Amino acid sequence: MLIALFTLYYVPLSIYGVERHNERLASYLSSRGHFVMVFTGGNRNLRGVQNINKNYVIYRTPFIDLSQKIRCSRIRSLLKWIMPIFEYTLFSAILAPKFVKKFNLDIL
């Protein structure tokens, strides 16, 4: 099967319960011979596609850093919190259908 997982945060950017569960689920499914593509948010250091193995791919959405250009600390802190959610939602909605067609994914 060709499977796509969508999660806002993923290891190593976040190491809590949901992220660890998604990592273990993707790893387990790929070890059983299924192709797994994980769509997740990116950051300054982690972007683009990471190939874990031939059946396990992580696609990180593009990262836009607007917080450096804002002088007001309250707005900057709000942007640091809300921009990853906005980026992930926007880019996964735009790019996911392209990947579904390209890889002919079975399960989202």
Record the tokens describing residue 43, joined without a space.
């950051």
108 domain-assigned: no
| Phi then psi dihedrals of residue 11, to 5 deg | -60, 140
Domain count, the chain: 1
Pairing of strands 56-60, 35-40: parallel
- pTM over cut 0.85: no
Domain assignment present for 27: yes
- Give me the half-sphere count of Cα atoms (radius 13 Å) on the Cβ side of residue 33: 0
Q: For residue 94, what are the contacts with CB-CB under 8 A and spacing of at least 6?
A: none
Q: What does each of the 108 residues of the chain score in pLDDT, given as a tens digit? A: 899 888 887 787 667 788 888 889 999 999 999 999 888 877 777 777 777 788 888 888 777 666 666 666 777 777 777 777 777 787 778 877 887 888 888 887
Task: Specify if 96 maps to a domain.
Answer: yes
- Whether 10 is covered by a domain: the verdict is yes
What the block records as the tokens of 60 is 């990180």
Instruction: Quote the pLDDT of residue 32.
Output: 93
> Domain range holding 22?
2-103
